Structure formats: structure tokens, C-alpha cells
Structure 1
């Protein structure tokens, strides 16, 4: 049916305001002999086309030329033969008469007449909202989806999608045609089951208040579990279906399938996880498996995690790092096994090996204390994630108590005692406090001048002091050091070490600490003996670890610190994506609106993401960011470019009124102007 079928207008086509459009009598329209299908007999679908014309009316204009001579009608159709035949069928049946009004475009230029014949259709496409309304009228006229699909020559799924949009309130279609709502937003609105809420949102968009996508996505998210759920890493679609789990696919093919039986998904994941947990329970570890809130654990358990440098003896720290690397390698092996859809036994074996590596690393990190409890929950990448616990160490009352048994005491690594350089004893005989103060003051001023005249020695002194304060964490008080320089390492109480960022710097400094201890020298002597390149590298590491541009509140913006950070970032060409992209712990603190804004910023916007639950969306954003080596602009200290766009806020995302839209679904094409084409069809 060409009334509902059109093609995008060619570049050479006549603009809308230059076309001669008029309404003429049906009886004055014939079919031009130059029409490419002039001699073809009417096809079997002409009656169905006539029925759709009667139900929906005429949407697409016929392209005609003036008649020539007495043997032709006043207007001859160059494009629209099937529509003219269908209207003739209605005329013969008495449904309409010869005066039935038909809208046509008149072409008088020979070149345009040839284009109308050869290009199938040069008429301006109708708006997609008109097509949706026409489908609605057809359905109200008792035409079924298969009949409409056969008349138009398209798949039934495409007609079902338009039929779903035809059920929207009238205000929604008006807003769609007026450009106040995009086709993507209309599809989102159609998913809402509440007609009253549909009308409310459509009226708000029509009145120019924007379209509140967030209200719909939040409503759809309530209680919805999709195939992106973290439990699905261990439970594939086949296992879920075989267990009786039902899946609902999105009509528009944009959102992830919804799992209608989440209790079956949970049961399957719990069975699989408990089988893995049984391996460790047989070894005496208490394992709590949960797919929901974390269980309540005894108060005397201590959670194990990342170990900072210097908390362990050198050999234990080296062993801990090696075991952390082994754990990371086995986690990668699990991800690969899940990605390649290996059999369940192979995946479970890889997961067990990963957990063993985690337990071993955590036990080494806590000084050899035994892991007695684990909590296991779903994870997107590795199927399961675990946290290890060990009993808190009892306080040792008195090392000299006669009741204490040396064999029961926890072994404590020997404390390294740093050597000291010889120093002159103060001459205090017959000297009161005031005089001693004067003498030491003058001596200090003399050393100040000497250091100022020797940059090399001053550099040694500075590095040694920073190393003592930031790495050895000793002699911090002014009275215990010749240099009054104070520095603080970056250690937020509620923060976490990111291994590829500050974790790498901390590891380098731990290696420096080990090298200093092995030298048997004082800090100043050891630093002074370092080659210049090593000395400057150590200075860079110490300076870097003392950086702190953290702001704990949005009302406590540290302008000066930000200015310095921007200068430093420019000096060293800082680019956080060289070593890290947003991961799940970082993204979890963001709202869904901000996460969706991140996808848009990185060019990975996907309608399916709006239907994801928070945990699923976090995993999706992390995956997309990693594949694009992307990080939010807010993590860069570079200043804004002169023509930079304003930063998208959560409120902007929630009130999205963007005029950009995709090309629709299936065979339906939507132009930037909102005009629609259903694809090729016989004219």
C-alpha cells in the first residue's frame, strides 16, 4: 500500500514548498502509459489495499502529470498505480463515488515526470506519527495485524510495534509530530502499563516541559530482573529455560530480555555456588552463600583485604604480591571460561582455583592468620565474588605475665632498627636553657646557609626527610628531626587503593624501603649514594604520594588546590585512561541517571541500558568504558576547552528532550525531520 509506504526524498527532489499539491476528483485520475507497471494486471492484494485505504484514508499523495489530448484523463498517475486501482475497486463497490477527493502532486517538468516514474516515488514522506495513527484506524476497522502486514508487504513484527505505539494517548502522537518527543521516547512511553500516567507524561512533553525518561525507567526497573543480572554469569539461558524459567522479550528489540521467574534464577545460582562452597566447607571454612543482602556475621570476625606496603616483613610482602598476581591471573581465566561458554565442570574448577588463590593471598596479607569464614555472592565477570574473614587477634595483656605461654603468642616479625650516624654530644656544662637556645639557633642558621649553597646536599636532605615521613612513617614530630618539613601521604579513611594507579606507586616505595633496609645505611647516606636518576625517581614518587586534592563536600571546593592540580596535570600530560578505566566500585556510587549520562558521553548510548537494574548498569558501563579506554572528564584535572559543552548533570539526563533519535525499528525509517518511510513496495 503506497499510502503508507514512501522512500526518503532524493537530493535532487523538489523541496516541499516548490511542489504543486492539490486535491482532485477520483474520476479525473487515470494511469499514465509511461508508468512502469502500466500493463501489469492487478495483483491479489489490491482488495486488501482497498480495505486499508477505506480504514485509514489517504496518507501518501499520488504523483501525476496533466493529461494529453482527449484520450487521457485530466490527471495521469505516474506513481500510485496500485492506489488508483484500489480506489477504483472501492468506486465499483459503491463505497465511494467519482467525486471522492484525492490529494496529488502535479509534475509539469519533463525531467521531474521522468524522475517520478524511474525513482518509484518522489513525494514527500509522511510523518511517522501519521503512520502510527493510520495503523490505529486500521485496527479499529477490524483489520488484523496479518492482513495489514500483507497489504503493506512487511513482517508482522513491524506492524505489531506500530500497533503498540498506536495505543498511546492522542497527546503523545501530537507531541511526536511536533518534535516534543522522540520516537525512542514514544517507545519507552508505550511500555508503561498505566494509561493515566502515559497521558500525564505525554501532556507534559507537549506543553514543553520535557520528557521525564527517568520516571519510566524507574517504574520499569521495579522488581524487574533481566538477562544482564549478575547471577546469569553462572546460569545460562538454556539452564534457566530447562528449569521452567520464563523469559519475556522486548517488543521493540531494544531492552534486555526480562526473566519472569527470578526465584528460579536464584535457585539455580545458589545450587551452583553451594557446590563450589562445599569444596571449601570440606576444608573447614564456613561459607555463607547469598544472592541478596550479606548475612550477619559474628562481631569477632575481621574482614581481610588489600595490604598496604610496610605492614608486612619484606619477604612476606613479596610473597603477598606474587599471590595477588596469581589471583588476578586465575580471575582472568574464569572470565575467559565464561566468555567461551565452557562446560560447567571446567568453569567450576576455574572458580575454585580463583577462590583458593584469594584465600592464600589474604592469609599471607594478614600475617599467616587462618581464614575461617567466607561470604560468596554473584559477580558479573567471574560468576562469584568472595570476601574472607579471620578471627580478630586477642589483645596481649602483658608480655611478662607468668601465666602467658610463649607457644600461644602470635609471632611478631622483628622490628627493623635503623642505624644512626655519629653526632656530637651537646656541651651543656654551665649553660642555661636560654644560652643553649641561642647557640643552637645560630648553628641552625649556619647550616641553613650551607645547605642553600649546596643544591645537591639540599636535594638529598629533602628526599631523605620525605622518605622518612611518607614511607617509614617515623620521626614525624618536629623535635625528632633536623628538618621541620612535614608531609602526609594520601590515605583516606574510607578510600581504597587502586592497584594500577596509586597502588603501583606504593609498591615502588615498598621496594625502595626494602632496598634501604638491605643497605644497612642511614636514610641520608642511602639517598645520597643513589644515582641521580634513581634519586629523582624517588623524589617523584614521594611527591606524588603526598598529593591530596580530595574534596569531601560539594560546598568545600579547594580552588587553589584545583589550580595547582591543573598545572601539574598539564606538566606531566596526565591521562588516567592509560592505566585505569571506571570499575564497579567506582561506578556503584553514581546514580542511574549519571551512569546513563556516562554512556552518552562515551558514545555508547543504548536504549537497552535504561531498563537495566543498578548493578547490571554498573557492569555494563564498566565494560563499555574499558572497551573504549574512556574515563569521565571530571577525573581529569585539565581545564575546560574554550568551546566545551556544559557538563551533563543528573537533572539534564532525567529531563532529556533531545531531538536526536535512532532510525526506528525493523523496516521503518525515520528521517531527522520525523518523516517516515516503511521501505520498498509496489507502486
Structure 2
């Protein structure tokens, strides 16, 4: 039976199985202040007579005592509902355990719905927060979770995702964005809250981002942009439409670049939303300018400094000199050295004659302010000599003239050997899948490769009589491509009854009994399975016969294969991605991403080249049609028969081997993060494998 006992007559007990101090007593005190103690405590009689020890309900007791200590209630008269139990220590501990163990707290989803329902009738968030002893941010967070996209909230309610994962989805109010990311990870058992939050963040921009600072919140909102507050982290506000922000920033920087270029008489000024010129100078030539000459007085002072420093060095060589005297000489020497460096650290001089031939970059600092770079570049090589303002020129990209076109990435850098191998195999698979539809062509190809014995048959790109080709090593966990699935489906559809016999003669006779169409299909599969990805392991060229077959079959590689972050964009440098964006959308499109991290650019490229990004029709068409030259057949031109001559082949192989032996021991950029800046000079990072220029 429940009865009322004054708060002052209660005390904590060692028999309570909860030994950890209760948390969030303030919230309990707020609840008691608003509604009183709604659930009775379990107590047992104690000494002195008339007092009771608390077996279960410690948090409620401490909440009431907090109000008593604050003078809000009188402990001597405030009645606490209790249920008195009796028994020995073991019995009382069992009662305490049962009461605590059987209590099931509300789930996060239930809390969300409850707060949402409560606020519909009492829209004062602050009042609700005070009543339940929570912060306004906590209540807002639960309301945000209550408004999650329906499939995500259902997953939270059913326990299929954790509260932290739900909070990650709730870092944005955009339900469409929530659902896109949720579908992306719906079938993954390895996803965590950090991955979800990164996926959400990739589609947003920090309000402190230099691009956002440049644009300004008012201009962004006026243009239709939306600002979101992440209630579950301390990263601050985020802009939900980074593309809009980049577009606005690009317009601002383009206008300023035009103004500065006209003011200074430069040939061009390119705006980029970053302080780094990495990747932006790949197609340019750096102009090395001479510093301004010293005047007569300055030259004389320079000579005097050198003479005095030589004297000081001689004096300081005296080992018997006192420390104070030595320190004075050393201080003078350092002062003179700094003065000398200041004299000779002079800005370069750009002559009026050169001004109209060169350009530079308008960059964006971390503080959102635009700065005109003082390093100049030309779009074509300039000839100059010391003294005329063009003492030398440095190319910003490695010379790839010895490589075939398909071995060079957008922007002029060579593809890594590993990536080129993988693309070559996938390109071959597309040809193999396509040749299945033309058994007659497969027959012609096979007969040619088998009968033309005057040259090495391997040069024709097939192993008709030798089984499977020796492909470059591919990742074991790489998912099957569309072409590979088509080949497997074709194999399963063939009549394979003739293969069941253990006797090769019986299998041969059974095969002979097949009709012509069945034989032709087996022939097409055999030829398709024989195609080589590359003429030889070190070669970077596409086999010209493969190119001819592809033209006859009218293969559109873009319909079979699309670039993704996993199979291409994450595997090349940031500079290559920017060059690629320039190719399909022009410098304005690339400039929007120069200040972004490589991972963010890769994610944006994956959407753009899959046709999922909102962009101009011309850009979308170009992106959907684009595949790297390493995946194309049409970049290969007809080759003379002499190229297949045995002597030429042997000579080429020896040259390639020598190149491999003498090459630098460098890392493959596909194995690491290529997001580091190359520096203001735009020099190429030698971390890429230079593909061997075989043949």
C-alpha cells in the first residue's frame, strides 16, 4: 500500500543496488517542480524509528532534496509517496534489483514523438525544456529527429539504426538529402555515424568556408540558398546548397578578375577560390622574371655589408675573445645579414612589353578576401634571355609526348600504371561483350589471327589457341562490371550438353553435332574470352585491331561504363579532376571546385558524370559522353604493318625494359591522397608512375 512520508524522514540506503551516482538530477528536480513526485519510492523501515531507507527511487529523492536545498519546498512537510517493504538484506536487495532491472526506458524515437506531440499544444520550447530539466538544444534535437525522412525514422523506431546514426542523418533538415544518403547505405552492414555525417556534409558547405565568407549570408539567402544549423555537433551553421554558393562566388571573382586584368593590362586573370595554384597551372608555362636591379647606393651598401661580415667572421674566430664581446659581434653580424637579405629580396619586374603576353591568378584566402598573385604564366612558350624580364620558362607538366594519347589523363599528366592497367582490362571486357553479338566478325578475326603466321599472333590481341590471356592483376573485391555480367549471361545461355563427357573425342563429336548457330555462339564466346587487355604488360597502347573491331561494332563505351569515385576519380590527382571539369564545362566550372578538397571534388564528379547533377545541358551532355582515353578505342590510329614486325617488336621490348630498369622508384598516386598542393610554381608531383613508352 502506498502512503506519504515527509521528505526529511527519508535517507539513502546501502541496500540499493544502484551504486553509481544518479545522472541529470536537475532534470528530475524540474519534473518534480512541475508535477510533483509521480511514482512512489520503495523504502524500508530504519532507525531511529519513523525514518526510512530508500531501496529504489534514489534519483527522485535527490531531485526533491535539490528543491529543498534551494528553499523551494520544505523537507519537513513535503510528502513523498512511498511503498514500504520488509525483509532481510537479501530480500531487500532482490526487490531493489527487480525494480531497477525491469524498468524499460523510453526509446529515442518515443521521446521524439512525445516531445513533438506535446509542443503541438504548447509551442513554447523554452518552457518545455525548463519543465523537463533539458536544454533548448536537446529539445530542438529531438524535434529534428521526429522530422527525419519517414524510412529513417522507422529504422530508428525499429532499432535498425542507432541514435547516433539518426543524429547524423538529422544534421540536415533536407529530407530528400537524408533519404538519398540512407538509400546509399541501406544495404551496408558496415556504415557508421561518421560515414553518414561525411556523406551529408559533402553536399553542404560550412558557413566559415572562404567561399561562404566572400559571398555573405545575405546574398546567399537572397539567391534562394538555405542555412542549416547542425544541432548534433559544434561545427556551426552549414549552407545546404554549396553549388549556389560557388556560382555566386565565381561571379564575384570573375568580375574582380576582369577589372584587375584591365587595370594592370594583363593578357588574362583567372579566378580560383583557393590560395593554392595546385592543378591550375598544368596547361601553362611559368614566366621567370628578373628582380629589379640595385641602385648605385644600394649596390655600394651591399658591398659594404659583405666586407664588414668578412671582417666580423675573422674577429669571431678568436677563441680567446670574451663572451660579451663575441655576443656583440654576433648580434651585428645577424643584423647585417638580415639587411643584406632585405636589399636583395626585391619583387620581379614585369615589363610593359611582357605585360600583355602573360597572366596570373586571383586567389581566395582563408579569410574570404581576394588576392592577386605575383607569379606570372603564359599560355604558350615565350623565348627570353636574362635581363629582358624573361630569364627562363619552366613547364608545369611532365613531358608526355612519348606516351600514346590513352595513357595521358586530362591536364597532361600520365595515368598511373595501375589505373591504366585496370582501365585497359575493362575496355577489353567491353569489346569482348560486344563481339558476342557478331559471330561472323569473331570468325573473321579468329581466322586471321590463326592463319597469318608470318608475324607473332599475340600482336593481334588474342590468344585463340592458348586459353585465357595474361591480364594485369585486378582488385579481388572489385564488383562485376556491366560487360562482365553480359559475358557471364551469354555463357550460361549456351548449350553445354556436349561438355559432359570425360572423353575428348566424344566431346568433339558432340560439339560437331551442334547446329551452326550453336557452334557460332560458342565460337563468339571463345573469341571474346581470348581478347587481351594490353599488347604486352609494359605497353600503354591500345591494340589497333581492337580499335578496328570496336569501330565496326560501333561500340559506345560510355553506355557500358561510367566513371565513379572508386574506379577513377579517387585514383587520379586533384589537378586531373580540375582539368577534366575544365574539359567538360570550361574554366568557370573548374574554378568552383579549386578550393574544395579532393574527396569533395571526386564526389561531385561522380554525380556530374552520372548525369545526376543539375547543370547546363551542354555540360551534362559532355559529361555523359566522356570516358578517359584509356577506355576509348577511337584514339588509336591505323598503324603500319612494320609496327608488327618481329625485329621492331624485339627492339621496342628491350627499350621498354631499359626504361623500367632505369626508372625512378616512385609511389603510385592511386595508393595515397593526392590532395597536397604542388606549390605556387605548379610543378608536377613525381609521385605518378610514368607509363613506359613502349612501341
Which TM-score applies when normalising by structure 1?
Answer: 0.35
Give the TM-score normalised by structure 2. 0.34
Which has the higher relative contact order, 1 or 2, with Cα contacts under 8 A spaced 6 or more apart?
A: 1
